[in-house]
Amino acid sequence: DAGITQSPRHKVTETGTPVTLRCHQTENHRYMYWYRQDPGHGLRLIHYSYGVKDTDKGEVSDGYSVSRSKTEDFLLTLESATSSQTSVYFCAIRIGQGAQEQYFGPGTRLTVT
């Protein structure tokens, strides 16, 4: 299995505070992704990265920024958390020949009060 960890696994924060979630992989995969999962919406892509310092927006990127200064780390930042950003956040890496084969991390449950 691809080594992928997310930290923290659970976080409760207040509206207006900045929050950074970390995704760490151990196998030097080029593509990394951040998704959020909410009831009734399935998984939605927030941002993705196709290499160090190379990132692009997904379908629900407003209110989020990302950074990738090293191959192994992909950070997701909520600059000023809102209650609508309460969700489960999953990081994924592309492990196959195509974009459809991705390996997901364990998730971070974020609650914004």
Partner 1 sequence: LAKTTQPISMDSYEGQEVNITCSHNNIATNDYITWYQQFPSQGPRFIIQGYKTKVTNEVASLFIPADRKSSTLSLPRVSLSDTAVYYCLVGRMDSSYKLIFGSGTRLLVRP
Tell me if 74 contacts partner 1 by CB under 8 A. no
Which residues on adjacent β-strands are paired with residue 87?
110
User: Residue from 61, 71, 107, 111 that binds partner 1 (CB under 8 A)?
Assistant: 107
Tell me if 16 contacts partner 1 by CB under 8 A. no
In this complex, which beta carbon is closest to partner 1, that of residue 14 or of residue 27?
Answer: 27
| Residue 61, phi-psi category: left (phi > 0), alpha (psi -120 to 50), beta (remainder) | alpha
Tell me if 50 contacts partner 1 by CB under 8 A. yes
Distances (CA, A) of 31 to 18, 39, 72, 96: 25, 26, 10, 10
Give me the least distance between CB of 54 and partner 1, in Å please: 11
23 and 34 in contact (C-beta within 8 Å)? yes
User: Residue from 11, 29, 31, 38 that binds partner 1 (CB under 8 A)?
Assistant: 31
In this complex, which beta carbon is closest to partner 1, that of residue 12 or of residue 16?
Answer: 12
CB atoms within 10 A of CB 112: 19
Residue ranges binding partner 1 (CB under 8 A): 31, 33, 42-45, 48, 50, 56, 58, 90, 92, 95-107
